[in-house]
A and B are shown apart, each in its own frame.
Chain A
Amino acid sequence: MATTSASDIGQLLNERFGRFAELGLLTGAIILLCVIFTMTSPVFFSVGNFINIIRQTAIVIVLGLGMTYVIISAEIDVSIGGVMALSAISAGLVINAVGPVAGAIAGLTVGLAFGLSNGLITIRFGIPSFIVTIGTLGIARGAAFIISDQKPIIIQSAAFDSVFGGSIGPMPALVLWALVLTVIAGVALCRTRFGRHVYATGDSEQAARYSGISTNRVKITTLALTGLAAGMAGLLFIGRLGAARADMASGIELAVIAAVIIGGTSLFGGRGSVIGTVLGALLISIIDNGLTLLGFGSSWQQLIRGVVIIAAVALRDRDEEGNFL
C-alpha cells in the first residue's frame, strides 16, 4: 500500500538521521518547489519576491510559535483568529484614542488575557482545550464585531505604522519581528527547562507529573503564550494593513495548525519544533506565491495545500501503536 511504503521511508530516514530527517525532507520539498517555480516564473527567484513571501508569512509564523508550544503540550487553541481580531480592534481603538504605546499594550493584554482564560478554564474545569477554545473563539470574534460596531478601524498613528508595518532599509519590520520572535521562541523551547517540561507534558503527562513537573502550570502557560502570540499577530496585522477589521483572519486557525503539522509537530503532543513550524508556514506561502505568479487562483492553492498536508503526515514515522504522528 502506498501509505505503508511512504511511512517506511519516513521510518528509515528517522532511524538514520533522527529528528533532523523530517526537517530535511521539508527543506528538500521547499527547495524543490523553489526550483520548479523559478523555472516557470521569471520573477520568482528575486529578492523582492522572497521578501514578499516572508512578509506574507510573518503573521502565520508568529501565531505558529504559540501554537507549536500548545500542541507539543498536547493541547490546542482554535480561538487565535478571534483573539487576534479582538486584540487588533482593541489596539486600534486605544491607538487612536490614546497613543501607539498604550495601544500596543492593550492589544497584547487582550491576547494574554484570553490565553490565560483558555488555560485556566481548561485546567480548572477539566474541559478539553479544543472545546474551550471553540467557545472563546466565538466570544472574542463576537466581541470584536460589537466593539468595532462592524466598521473597520483605520489606524491614525504614523509611529505605530512604522514600528510594526514599516521597513528598515529593504527589510520589512514584519519580517524582523517574526525573526526575533522565532529565535526567542525556538531557543526557549529547545534550551530552557520550561521548554523541556513542555515536551515532557505532551509526551507523557503522567510521567511528567510523577517526576514533579506541574503539568497544569505548563499547560496554562502554553495556552497563555498562544494568546499572547495572537495579540502580537493582531498588532502586526494592523501594522501591515493599516486598519483593523473584526472579520480579519477568519479561518486562520486552520492555516496555522496546518503549518505546525506540516512542520513535524504531532497532534498527540511531545514532538515538534519551532523551526519545523516556520518551514511548514513557508512551504504553504511558497505554494500560494508560486501559483499566483503562474496565474492559478485560490482554488488550485487550496487543492494543493490539502495534498501537501496529507503528504506531510503520510511520510512520517509511526508510533508504536501504528498511529501517524
Chain B
Amino acid sequence: MTNVIRLKNISKQFGQIQAVEDVSFGIQENEVIALVGDNGAGKSTLIKIISGVLQQTSGSIYIRDEEVEIGNYNDAEARGIETVYQDLAITPNRTVAQNIFLGSEILERGPLGRFLRFVDDDEMQKKAGELLSRLELDLDPGSAVKNFSGGEQQSVAIARALQSDPDIVILDEPTSALSLDATQRVLDLIKRLNEQDVTIIFISHNLEAVFDVADRAAVLASGRLISVEDLSGVEENELVGMMMGRAQQGAD
C-alpha cells in the first residue's frame, strides 16, 4: 500500500517548547489511522501541521511521494486534505449551509459578469441539503448553527470538511464531547467514509473507539513517536502501556 502522506523528521518548536520532535511515519492510502497519546504528546500540533494551520520548524511532508509545502488551509484543501477540529471552528450565527461552505462560497453569475458575483445562497442550500442527506443527517440547512445540539453541530463541521470531496479527512477528538449515541453515529460515519476510499486520520482518547474503527495507531508521547502499531496485533492495555510507559522513559 502506498503512503498517501509521509512525514519525515517533522519537528515543531514554540519558543522554548518542543511540541513535536523528529516525527517520521507514513499514512497509508485508504486506511483509518488513529493518533493516540497522553495530553501534551503533540497530537494536535501534528495534525495542524498537516492541515496548514501551523508550519513545521523542520522536516518534510510528502504527499504521494511529492514533497509539499502546506502553508495554509487553501494549500491543504488543494491537496485534498480537510480537517475537523476539536472545537469545531464553526460560526454559530451563520446557517448550516453557510458554515458548510465557509471560505468556499459558491458564486452565481452576477450582473456584472466576472467583476461582481454574488453569493448563490440557493445553490449552497441545495448542495448542503444533498451533503447532509448523504451523511444521513436531518438538519435544516437554512437554520443557524447555534440552534442545534453539540452533536449536530459537529455533524455540520464534518459536513463542511466533506464538502470539497477530500481524499484525506483529519478529525481531532471527534467523539470526546458526544453522547454514546452520537459517538456511535460518528464512528459509523468514519467507517462509511473509509468504505468510500477516504483516508482517515483521527485523534482520540477513546481507545474503545480507536480499536473499533482504526486499522493502525501511531503512539506519541512528549512530542516523539513511540511506535506505529497494527491494531489487529496488539491489546488495549499494551497500547496504554506504550502511551505511558515509554513516556516515563522519554522523560529522562
Contacts and interface: CB of A to CB of B under 8 A. Distances in A.
A64 to B, nearest CB: 20
Interface stretch (B14-22, B90-98, B175-183): B90-98
Interface string A201-245: 001101111111100000000000000000000000000000000
B118 A204 contact: no
B229 interface: no
Contacts of A204: 89-92
Interface residues of A, number: 22
A197 B118 CA distance: 13
Interface stretch (A30-38, A128-136, A174-182, A188-196): A188-196
A79 B117 CA distance: 32
Interface stretch (B37-45, B72-80, B212-220, B240-248): B72-80
Contacts of A213: 102-103
Contacts of A271: 93
B146 interface: yes
A149 interface: no
Interface string B109-127: 0000000111100000000
Given A191-B119, A193-B105, A204-B89, A211 B94 contact: no
B118 A210 contact: no
A268 to B, nearest CB: 10
- Residue among B72, B73, B87, B102 with the highest chain A CB neighbour number at 10 A: B102
Contact of A192 (B93, B98, B102, B118): B118
Nearest to A207: B89
B119 A193 contact: yes
Contacts, number: 72
Interface string B33-71: 000000000000000000001000000000000000000
B156 to A, nearest CB: 11
A213 B160 CA distance: 14
Interface in B146-193: 146, 160
A193 B105 CA distance: 7
A199 B88 CA distance: 17
B234 interface: no
B202 interface: no
B93 A208 contact: no
Contacts of A200: 91, 94, 98, 102-103
B58 to A, nearest CB: 24
B137 interface: no
Given A210-B73, A212-B74, A212-B77, A203 B89 contact: no
A270 interface: yes
A320 B146 CA distance: 8
A207 B119 contact: no
Nearest to B48: A210
Given A200-B91, A320-B146, A193 B102 contact: no
B114 to A, nearest CB: 14
Interface string A262-275: 00000000110000
B94 A199 contact: yes
B118 A208 contact: no
A86 to B, nearest CB: 32
Contacts of B102: 200, 207-208, 211, 213
B119 A208 contact: no
Contacts of A196: 98, 105, 119
Interface of A: 191-193, 195-197, 199-200, 203-204, 206-213, 270-271, 319-320
24 contacts: A191-B118, A192-B118, A193-B105, A196-B105, A197-B103, A199-B91, A200-B91, A200-B102, A203-B92, A203-B93, A207-B89, A207-B102, A209-B73, A210-B53, A210-B83, A211-B89, A211-B160, A212-B72, A212-B77, A212-B103, A212-B104, A213-B102, A270-B94, A271-B93
Given A193-B117, A199-B93, A270-B93, 17 more contacts: A192-B117, A193-B119, A195-B119, A196-B98, A200-B102, A204-B92, A207-B90, A207-B91, A210-B53, A210-B83, A210-B85, A211-B73, A211-B104, A212-B77, A270-B92, A319-B92, A319-B146
